[in-house]
Structure 1
Amino acid sequence: MSSITTITGMFTKKAVIAWALIAGLLLAVALLPKASATENSVVGLEASKSVVAIDPASESSFLGESFTTIAGAIFSKDLALVSLASIEVELARTPYGAKKVAKDILYNEYGFKHVQYACLEKLWTEESNWRYKAHNKRSGAHGIAQALPANKMDVVSTDWRTNPVTQIRWGLRYISIRYETPCKALAKHKRSNWY
């Protein structure tokens, strides 16, 4: 009996279906861009050079909960990242949540402190009241940061119409490139009513 037949004989129909589902989710996670849209990751098959025998009696191993297998560890890590990104997007759909997400990004990724966040809060409150669906019918500006034209946000991700985190990341990127800090952007806004 070949080793492949031995290994496949160990799996029940339920296990094969579970692993097919896991493989499909891993493929989807590997191919879809992250919610932050700042990077794409490529999952290589080189990590899985050996066959790992799994005890079919253990249900948790079929659901990717076991860190003793390569597939289980990869699946759990990617699932956690997707879950965190989804939570961040859902949180940012409210003005309160958008402020929290922007503050976290501003502090952790841009290294700014409270003074800069206070300026950002004033600026985007005046621009959109932190609403990701905000749209200026006169100018066509859209989103939390009021991008004009709105499709400028494609540089971060194409989901800017529905993803408030994309809008926040684009707005912070724009401010950083054009004005260096949120306080300088706010000063410009006070002088000319746009930034």
Structure 2
Amino acid sequence: MSSITAIAGMFTKKAVVAWTMIGALLLAITFLPKANATENLIVGSEASQSVVAIDPGSESSFLGESFTTIAGAIFSKDLALVSAASIQVELARSPFGAKKVAREILFNEYGFKQVQYDCLEKLWTEESNWRYKAHNKRSGAHGIAQALPANKMDVVSTDWRTNPVTQIRWGLRYISIRYETPCKALSKHKRSNWY
């Protein structure tokens, strides 16, 4: 009789543990965000395409907020911006991707045309070959734009050591302030081998 009681006691403990785990899983599933169409993303056939979140007015929900509510719309837009920025940073880690990101920023934020991008492409190819980890041991210049001293890039963001987009933004800002255009910066570089 005591062995039956012991077996019943073990079964009860196992059953309690099992039902507790089942309940915890059901509770977790209830509160997890839904993955059904939270954002409609446009992704081009190439990695060079921008990723843009659209349709913030849809009835889809994320973490229980409808996009039609103010809180839901703000959260959705912030999430889309963070997502786009992350994609841009990862893309810019390669020289090819860095060129695509710089071109997009140069055109969309500075209003320059292809001729200015061509000058920028030549300038930064000579300076760093578009490598965000490029470091000149002799001068201490660092990054895609070869900032000297490198901590000048803190004006844009303190993540300049690891974020190629910060380096690109700083370089374009520097060129805009000091030379007005990438072609003028390239002319200076051709004359003196620095800009």
Decide whether the 8 Å contact of 1:64 with 1:71 is kept in 2: no
**Residues 101 and 165 of structure 2 are in contact (CA less than 8 Å); yes or no, is this contact kept in structure 1?**
yes
Asked if the contact 2:91/2:98 (under 8 Å) is kept, the reply is: yes
Report the structure, 1 or 2, having the larger strand content: 2
The letter of the residue matching 2:134 is A
| Counterpart in the other structure of 1:156 | 156
Q: Equivalent residue of 2:66, what SS?
A: coil
2:69 paired residue number: 69
Q: Does 1:112 align with 2:73?
A: no
Map of 1:102-181 to 2, 5 A cutoff?
102-181=102-181
Please, which runs of 5 or more residues in structure 2 have no aligned partner?
1-25, 34-59
- Which is higher, the Rg of structure 1 or of structure 2? 2
Instruction: Give the deviation of 1:68 after TM superposition.
Output: 3.0
- Paired residues, number: 144
CA distance in 2, matches of 1:61, 1:141: 47
Per-residue CA distance 1:136-171 (angstroms, 9 max, x = gap):
011100000000000000001000001101000000
| Percent of aligned pairs sharing the same letter | 88
Q: Deviations over 1:39-86 (max 9, x none)?
A: xxxxxxxxxxxxxxxxxxxxx646256313333222211111110011
TM-score after normalising by structure 2: 0.68
Partner of 2:191: 191
**Cα 1:182–1:62, aligned 2, differ >3 Å: closer, same or farther?**
closer
Native 8 Å contact 2:134 2:144 kept in 1:
yes
Question: For the Cα contact (< 8 Å) 2:124–2:130, is it kept in 1?
Answer: yes
Distance 2:160 2:66 in 1: 36
Unpaired segments ≥5 residues, structure 1: 1-11, 20-59
Q: Distance in 1 between matches of 2:104 and 2:62?
A: 35
Q: RCO (CA 8 Å, sep 6+): is it higher in 1 or 2?
A: 1
Listed one character per residue, the Cα deviations across residues 172-194 of structure 1 (whole Å, up to 9, x for unaligned) are: 01011111111111111111110
Cα distance in structure 1, aligned partners of 2:123 and 2:65: 44
CA distance in 1, matches of 2:179, 2:62: 51
Query: What is the CA-CA distance between 1:13 and the residue it aligns to?
Result: 6.0
Q: Tell me by how many angstroms 1:95 deviates.
A: 0.5
In structure 2, how many angstroms separate the alpha carbons of the residues matched to 1:85 and 1:62? 20
Mapped pair 1:96 → 2:96: yes
Secondary structure of residue in 1 paired with 2:157: coil
Alignment-mate amino acid for residue 73 of structure 2: A
Aligned residue for 1:79? 79
* Per-residue deviation, 1:107: 0.8
Distance 1:64 1:72, change over 3 A: farther
Structure 1 CA distance for aligned equivalents of residues 135 and 168 of structure 2: 15
